Structure 1
Amino acid sequence: MTMATVTTPVRPSAATAAAIALDQAHVAHNYHPLPVVVEHAEGVWVTDVERRRLLDCLAAYSAVNFGHRHPRLVAAAKAQLDRVTLTSRAFHSAPLAPFCEALADLAGKQMVLPMNTGAEAVESGIKVARRWGEQVKGVEPGRAQIIVAGGNFHGRTTTIVGFSDDPDAREGFGPFTPGFVRVPFGDAQAVEAAITADTVAVLLEPVQGEAGVIIPPEDYLPRLREVTRREGVLLVVDEIQSGLGRTGATFQCDNACVVPDLYLLGKALGGGIVPVSAVVGDRDVLGVLTPGSHGSTFGGNPLAAAVGHEVVRMLQTGAYQAMARERGEQLAAGLHRLLGRGATAVRCIGLWAGIDVEPSVGTARQVCERLLELGVLAKDTHGQTVRLAPPLVISEAEVDHLLGAVETALG
């Protein structure tokens, strides 16, 4: 394991401090960023205002799976910028249908509902499930229930935080939307017990990213698929972080040999260039939407469709999924050697890892600050967990560099 060298001063320079002060004065304080100001990025590396090169091991929470400014994605965006960027869905646009056809084919489905952000995809999936419940399953109006998992993170809109159990996300934002039943994550029996005649869907992440890369038992998704199919309930899987190559497969559902009724996608679908999200399913589910029942001015805009289509083309090769598997095995092996040496637990799937930090070492935030000093960008969650999600194009040597920095930061 290659030891990383210190490349970042403990105290921010005048340029960094000035930029942070401006941020704090004029940007709402809904985030607590690390003290670094990024000015340029390419591949797996970013450069800050002090001209320091830093290894990006967060990839914008998996939105930059293909690396910063991937040439194919930048070229697709530039080409579309010279044509048309926005028409609204009041008219057809040339790039939209080919993008939706390709994405549906990638997922083995028939239809795509294009949206913008991940939270918007989740909200859209909820609406689809409820209307399907009334029109197809026959649930009485206003009685539809959706089963969700404890520890979930599906976004921060009012409906979504209403079924979260994270106090930071919930406090002060009520009253909340009814119709959700929360059960423990990873417990298929609890899901089965919670199903009633009014249940229209089970909504979950196949791996809980924000919770700390929590990986359920291997039989969890297959059992849920069997139960939901038997009970006439939709299985709606949020692959916004886990999907599009991150876990070594196109979707984490592929690793479990499960096909849900609806995929919720986002983040990497926009290639780190534009916000793109989607709900992907078959006509017997997505077909419940009719003109006027749902919409988005920017959803499926020509620029987003052009970039998203290029993302799909790249994933169709299987190369990026293979990169995540190979480099993920290297990352997992190196991190597991740190158990008992500052790490109390390691969870790794593909190029995605959660490291629980021994309290005597410090908080996860403090470890991330040390990693910054070592030239690596990572992010903490839930106090004692460091998350790693580098771009899938990271090299073997760069993974070694990351592992050396983590070892030093935990030491």
Structure 2
Amino acid sequence: MSEQDAIRWFKTQFGVAITAACRGTPYTLDMATAIAMQETYSDCWGPIYRTKPASEVLKLCVGDTLDAPKRSAFPTSKADLLAVPSGSSMFDVARQALIDVAQVNRTYARVAQNPDKFCHGYGIFQYDIQFFKTDPSFFLTRGWYDMAECIKRLIKELDAACGRAYGTRKSSLTDEEMMYVAIAYNHGSVRVGAGPQQGFKADDGRFYGENFQQYLALAHATPVDIHVPTDLGPIAGTGTIPPIPAGQQDLPTLVQSAMAISQAIAARQQPQQPGTAPAPTRQVDDFIKLLTILADKTTDGRLGQVNGALGQTIGNLLDGKKSAIGIIGTVLTTVLQQVGPHLDTAVPLFGNFEQLGQAALPVFLGTTAWGILGKLEKWLAPTR
């Protein structure tokens, strides 16, 4: 099997997810493919992708066991890792990852004989363990098993690399610009314009930038027919969604229309069994009642016995105002009883304020009670 076959497999397995995630970014499926080829193809998934399912391949995409003096980023050694919170748990995960990949890679099998060695790179795009301090859950929960999590972090790190290379995020990238961003992704820094001989230098003398260029060109030459949906498609099921009534509507009517539409959509998404009745709408009816009360309208527009106790004319005049009048009046008369003796001499026009407050208080308390009973009457009124 050739590298082009591996690229075709990678695109077929992960092309839809990567393409969808790259929408709105300057990155492409071919760029992600080239990074995956450069980062983990030869050491991890290249020898096993033909015989193992993709889920198992992802689990074994770990590597990079270099430590100090060849490594300067955290952690430079086992002791460096153990010194941070949850470092011991992370070492256990990292050590087991090395043991796992050693089963399919002879080089890592030899490295694993050193009990202090562990993996530093995780996932098919090699998310580095230096991010354990800020993103511990990815490592401790073995997030590299999930391609979506790997893609999410790839894009995050490419954004950071693009910023380091060009000072800002670009709306699109040429192949050459992709190369410089990829070098910054790998090496942390890049000299834009200095060519591809930058980044990690392999044992064969080739640099990261050179290999990326080669894999990117090969990815361009290996198209795969994938279909990425542009929308979620129509709602499953049948049924008609009711229209919103034309013209200006009051709040309860609009809410009732919205609830009807919501119920229609839910019914289309979850078809009922033949012969069964629609779900009860008591909660919707109660909600409409509450809004009707707040809007000070009864469901049929007529005043009930409580609200119309003094006739329709007075009832309509006070409809929706009784509670407010009663509460405000009660507060004012209570205040008058307290400060009345001091106001009699200052404002003699109205006579004894204290006596006025005592006389008015029962009236306002009664008005408050009337208003509350009116609200209850509206609430208990049957809906049509």
| TM-score, normalised via structure 1 length | 0.20
Which structure is higher in helix share?
2
Indicate the structure (1 or 2) with the bigger Cα radius of gyration: 2
Higher relative contact order (CA 8 A, sep 6+): 1
